[in-house]
Amino acid sequence: MHDVIIIGGGPAGLFSAFYSGLRKMKTKIIENHPFLGGKVHVYPEKIVWDVGGLPPLPGQQLIDQLIEQGTTFEPDLVLGEKVSSIEKVDGEFRLQTDSGQEHWSKAVIVAVGGGIIEPVRLKIQGAEKFEVSNLHYTVPSFQRFVGKRVLISGGSHSAVDWANELAPLAAHVDLVYRKEELKGHEASIELLIEQGVDLHEQSSIQSLTADKGGEMIEEVVLEHPRDGIKQVKVDEVIISHGFNRDASLLNESPIDLERVDNFFIKGNVQSASSVPGLYAAGDILHHEGKLHLIAGAFQDAANAVNQAKQFIDPDATASAMVSSHNERMDEYNKKLKEKRMAKI
């Protein structure tokens, strides 16, 4: 029996585990993937700018630091296991996984982000054969795109960020999007223009033209509602059309949980759901004051842990005491000091 089980090992789940350790709760993380870090693994080289107190850093570095922090208090880790249902039995929570395992806890924090996600594939016949050559849904390394003609399809923040990251490295970048306006921050969109990214608004990919060997995309055919057809020569194509969400966990759980759009957990600003003892953190949580940033996930996590602590022990304080007086933190600070002295 654990005090709290955290479903999901991304930023929200890892910070929940850290804060739960501060509150001296016996903690377990169950993560579907065989690794921790969550969706940040989709963009390991992308620069993350918006975490308070941290300078801009690559996604992989953020993952490494989140894992180091999140495992400070040695939570139990169960990796490569998908939680298939959550059930409340005699006031306690029973979690079942696809492999048939059972896990029990007094409280639960759901931190699955957008759910177990798969990128939305390009809906063009035969496109899948190019996934082994030059059609991409993630960008694990920038090196591949140096000096190349790159076309990115998508109008989201991620697509804008990819275009800005690759523009200084690639020979040329085209950004294709269906709507009249992009979703990126104003400064990011201005940077696109400054870096000479070719913007194709209200356009979509109609077809892909292969090279003579039939193995690589050499041209993308775009369609515009007024201007018609345009051919764009390419070396690499990146599709950033979002992700499909897997809502099976909540759909198959026999608990009366209020949701929004049949997916997000409807909660309050303190990360509490409609089920006593069940809390949420990160993108899966929805309330009026929700902030969809990594920084917002950290606040969700701390609120969820504090609520879980008082649910288990009504006499507990509302928040964690000063962390620097914790034995684990003293040990961590000692190791950090030793690392710094070694560099000197």
> Is 212 marked within a binding site?
no
Domain boundaries, the chain: 2-117+243-343, 121-239
Residue 157, pLDDT score: 87
Q: Which helix (H) or strand (E) holds 61?
A: helix 59-70
- Close Cβ partners of 315 (under 8 Å, ≥ 6 residues apart): none
The sign one gets for the Cα dihedral 327, 331, 336, 340 is positive
Amino acid at 145: F
Strand-pair category, 57-58 with 47-48: antiparallel
pLDDT score of 334: 72
CA distances from 267 to 27, 278, 286 (A): 22, 10, 6
Encode burial over 3-26: b for 16+ CB neighbours within 10 A, e otherwise.
bbbbbbbbbbbbbbbbbbbbbebb
Residue 205 marked as a ligand binder: no
Residue 106: enclosing H or E segment and its boundaries?
Answer: strand 102-110
Residue 325 pLDDT = 59
Distance in angstroms (rounded) separating the CA atoms of residues 305 and 318? 10
Pairing verdict, β 198-200 and 172-176: parallel
Please check if 117 is assigned to a binding site: yes
Amino acid identity, position 39: K
CATH 3.60.15.10 corresponds to the domain 121-239: no
Question: Do the annotations mark residue 174 as ligand-binding?
Answer: no
CATH class of this structure's domain 2-117+243-343: alpha beta
Task: Specify the pLDDT at position 332.
Answer: 66
Does the annotation list 43 as a binding residue? yes
Closest CA to 91 of 278, 268, 343: 278
Q: Evaluate whether 280 touches 110 at the Cβ level (below 8 Å).
A: yes
Residue 28 marked ligand-binding: no
Q: What is the pTM of this model?
A: 0.78
pLDDT in tens, the chain (344 residues): 999 999 999 999 999 999 999 999 999 999 999 999 988 887 788 888 888 888 989 989 999 999 999 999 999 999 999 999 999 999 999 999 999 999 999 999 999 987 656 789 999 999 999 999 999 998 878 999 999 999 999 998 889 999 999 999 999 999 999 998 898 788 999 999 999 999 999 999 999 999 999 999 999 999 999 999 999 999 999 999 988 777 888 888 999 899 998 889 999 999 999 999 999 999 999 998 898 889 999 999 999 999 999 999 999 998 876 555 566 666 766 776 777 777 67
Q: How far apart are CA 196 and CA 280, in angstroms?
A: 42
Q: What's the pLDDT score for residue 242?
A: 85
> Is 64 labelled a binding residue?
no
Res 63: pLDDT: 94
Q: What is the pLDDT of residue 40?
A: 85
In this chain, the answer to whether the domains covering 2-117+243-343 and 121-239 adopt an identical fold is yes
For residue 8, the model assigns a pLDDT of 95
Amino acid 84: pLDDT? 94
